[in-house]
Chains A and B, each alone.
Chain A
Amino acid sequence: MTDEGGTVKKFMFVNRRAPYGTIYALESLEVVLISAAFDQDVSLAFLDDGVYDLIKGQNTKAIEIKNFSPTYRALEGYDIEKLYVAKDSLEERGLSEDDLLVDAQVVSRAEMADLMAQQDVLLSF
């Protein structure tokens, strides 16, 4: 993936926080969407409580906060397809791949560590 001779870097967006209790998950996603325009090698990592960002069935009507989880499904349309979810973090929380609202690659700790080490830029929120 290149943009006619421009620099292409590996960007990883590291999501470690649950949704709604704080704004980090939402505002992280907003950067991801913007990054699509820059033709970089983008991946998203979900670990620790960040795995909660991706679970199905979020219904925010009663807390009156916008449900932004459908946006994760739109990422594919932006050619952002590398979503990595930490296996350990899912298991610690009694979750499985079936609970996720998007197709994501479930990875071991060692695989996640490898992925992180390969990045040029790691953004945390």
Chain B
Amino acid sequence: MKFGIMVNEGPYQHQASDTAYQFAKAVLAKGHQIYRVFFYHDGVNNGTRLTVPPQDDRNVINRWSDLAIKNNIDLVVCVAAAQRRGILDESEAKRHGKNADNLAPGFRISGLGQLVEAGIQADRLVVFGD
């Protein structure tokens, strides 16, 4: 089966991103596919490469990046929510005249249509939030 996953909260503040990650790993372990992980609301903050979390705890962002790159998973950060919260890739930063970008590896920024499309194309969609 193809799964869509929606993550509505940022790293560390809520368990949503952690649970979504564990769920994603379990999906893959069972031989299923992840069609897309869509990050919305504060969930876009899972896509910043600038976090420096304590070494003795999990690295939420790196975990997502590694999982995505190793398993070819589409991690999408919603552009509208990202703009509000200051998550930008190189082209967004240029486009809006910002002097920095911060998108983490393995993530891409795209529109809300990607969420709707995931709902259409995936067999199941699960939402993780507050």
Is any CB of A less than 8 Å from a CB of B in the complex?
Answer: yes
A-B pairs with beta carbons under 8 Å apart, 30 shown: A6-B120, A9-B120, A11-B116, A11-B119, A27-B40, A27-B80, A27-B81, A31-B40, A31-B112, A31-B115, A34-B112, A34-B113, A34-B116, A35-B116, A37-B113, A38-B113, A38-B120, A40-B116, A120-B119, A121-B119, A121-B125, A122-B127, A123-B115, A123-B127, A124-B8, A124-B127, A124-B129, A125-B8, A125-B40, A125-B129
CB-based contact A38/B116 at 8 Å:
yes
Distance of A30 Cα from B80 Cα, bound (Å):
9
Chain A residue with the shortest CB-CB distance to B129: A124
Set of chain B residues within 8 Å of A125, measured between Cβ atoms: 8, 40-41, 129
CB distance from A74 to the nearest CB of B (A): 16
Any A CB within 8 A of the CB of B117: yes
Q: How many residues of B are counted as interface, with CB atoms below 8 angstroms from the partner's CB atoms?
A: 18
Any A CB within 8 A of the CB of B103: no
Any A CB within 8 A of the CB of B24: no
Any B CB within 8 A of the CB of A24: yes
Any A CB within 8 A of the CB of B53: no
Set of chain B residues within 8 Å of A23, measured between Cβ atoms: 41
Judged by DSSP, the binding face of B is helix
Distance of A40 Cα from B119 Cα, bound (Å):
10
Chain A residue with the shortest CB-CB distance to B122: A121
Which A residues contact B (CB, under 8 angstroms)? 6-7, 9, 11, 23-24, 27, 30-31, 34-35, 37-38, 40, 120-125
Chain A residue with the shortest CB-CB distance to B127: A124
Distance of A99 Cα from B129 Cα, bound (Å):
30
Question: How many residue pairs, one in A and one in B, have C-beta atoms under 8 Å apart?
Answer: 49
Set of chain A residues within 8 Å of B80, measured between Cβ atoms: 27, 30
B113, B119, B129: most-surrounded residue (chain A CB, <10 A): B119
For the complex of A and B, the 5 pairs showing the least CB-CB separation, nearest first, are: A34-B112, A121-B119, A35-B116, A124-B127, A38-B116
CB-based contact A38/B117 at 8 Å:
yes
CB-based contact A30/B129 at 8 Å:
no
Distance of A31 Cα from B81 Cα, bound (Å):
11
CB-based contact B111/A7 at 8 Å:
no
Any A CB within 8 A of the CB of B6: yes
Given contacts A27-B41, A34-B113, contact A7 B120 (CB under 8 A): yes
